[in-house]
Structure 1
């Protein structure tokens, strides 16, 4: 197992040493039986901080018997632990993540486009989920929603198990409102409710079906805000309550108003990126919003 330390500037101007990578394989002996994975890693990674060890787990870089496990997983004697490490770790600041608000057990984190929301087991790409323990070192953060890689805006985080359970109740009751801003092709006026059912099963591109979805939480409410006559584009606000994969992108494209910069449902990528932002979230006891980008 090898390390290469790097000195970085932490919050408040404090400096700390961050190993750029760890790699190696070791077995769990009797003394480690029943211990959390992020704790037992310390014996194989002397000098490492708990936040770093949690990030390694969250990013899918720690395998137990060949399977990626989360920090709280309790290992058993005889299991094999593999730490992969052929890439540099990135901090929350390097990913462009920023805490917008913390309240009542929840936090909102602003994510730029071009950053993964969630960790992907076996993949090397950094993610917002992989650095949550860095952003909230005193809590047990859990990512509650995901944004597409190209989509910017708010990620909601539960800081306690109780907050996570509350979020699931609110979502089931339709008590969560997620507002997005999008710049779309063509002129769009008024208010539209796109109710088409979506087929997301095992497909890169979500299909919009002819029949309506009976679950109103899966509808997309679209409100026109302004129209740029010269560019022939419209700024719209979209409201969803329980989003499906690519819901807003697919729904807007299905009514002839694809989002600018959309490589799947529109006319391709642009230098400005995908013009879709999760701008505001509202639910009982918590509201947060990001600075509008468009």
Structure 2
């Protein structure tokens, strides 16, 4: 499990950043996780909460407040799909957090990436909602991370999702409304269009189930915002099946949304559709 308790900085840690020295008592944890613990004031030095970049000194007591046990990749249902040219793709099931949520301590995919890629410095490049299944992209080198950010800025990354939505949806729709993500729970769809094409959601109808009155659709985004696909689909009258937040109702199979394919220069990956 993650370390809980108090330890003292020895000579080897003198002058190091707090988020770095924490690795000595939390081996296998990612740097981003350790930084978040500091930001959430779960790490105290001399009895005071300190920022991740705080430089510790020999002899200082460091207290780590209670954090839930860190799960293993297999326990979370994570599976490596592909590794190539500094990138890796991991399949995440629905019901698993992509990363640590502020104020929470649940097990998450980002925290166990070092276990999936031992001896490397994996960095999570995208996130999926807790209820959403599918592909998480990971950079295994600093060069890969820089390349991803460059591709994202250029709009040359394509993320394809499958969703089953309420009602009959035909043809192709481009939802271009700007999103307001300030609310921590619900993303609001605004009336005006977003000038950034990377924030649009392209929707292509694939099939319709007459008995259930639901449609299977493929969604394309390039640089997603929080709940982008869920909010955009609901705004055009077709909430995703199993989405209690945006009007899709309950479903025994959970949220019917899967990040199924990703394309970018030099790297493509796809997983088997769930529905």
TM-score, length-scaled by structure 1: 0.83
| In the alignment, structure 1 residue 63 sits paired with structure 2 residue 23 | no
Match of 1:93 among 74, 87, 94: 74
Aligned residues: 268
**Number of the residue aligned with 1:214:** 195
Question: Partner of 1:57: helix, strand, or coil?
Answer: helix
Q: Give the 3 Å change call, closer, same or farther, for CA 124–118 of structure 1 in structure 2.
A: same
Structure 1 position 24, deviation (Å):
1.1
**Number of the residue aligned with 1:12:** none
**Number of the residue aligned with 1:234:** 215
Find runs of 4+ consecutive structure 1 residues off by over 6 angstroms.
Answer: 53-56
Q: Give the 3 Å change call, closer, same or farther, for CA 122–200 of structure 1 in structure 2.
A: closer
Kept after mapping to 1: 8 A contact 2:17/2:56: no
Kept after mapping to 1: 8 A contact 2:19/2:35: no
The gaps in structure 2 that reach 5 residues or longer are none
**Number of the residue aligned with 2:111:** 130
The gaps in structure 1 that reach 5 residues or longer are 1-19
Match of 2:179 among 198, 221, 227: 198
| In the alignment, structure 1 residue 274 sits paired with structure 2 residue 255 | yes
Kept after mapping to 1: 8 A contact 2:263/2:269: yes
Structure 1 position 30, deviation (Å):
4.2
Match of 2:154 among 162, 173, 194: 173
Structure 1 position 125, deviation (Å):
0.4
Structure 1 position 124, deviation (Å):
1.8
Question: Partner of 2:234: helix, strand, or coil?
Answer: helix
Question: Partner of 2:100: helix, strand, or coil?
Answer: coil
Q: Give the 3 Å change call, closer, same or farther, for CA 268–107 of structure 1 in structure 2.
A: same
More divergent stretch after superposition (192-201 vs 74-83): 74-83
| In the alignment, structure 1 residue 143 sits paired with structure 2 residue 120 | no
Match of 1:183 among 158, 161, 164: 164
Q: Give the 3 Å change call, closer, same or farther, for CA 292–59 of structure 1 in structure 2.
A: farther
Report the RMSD for the aligned CA atoms in angstroms.
2.5
Match of 1:116 among 69, 92, 97: 97
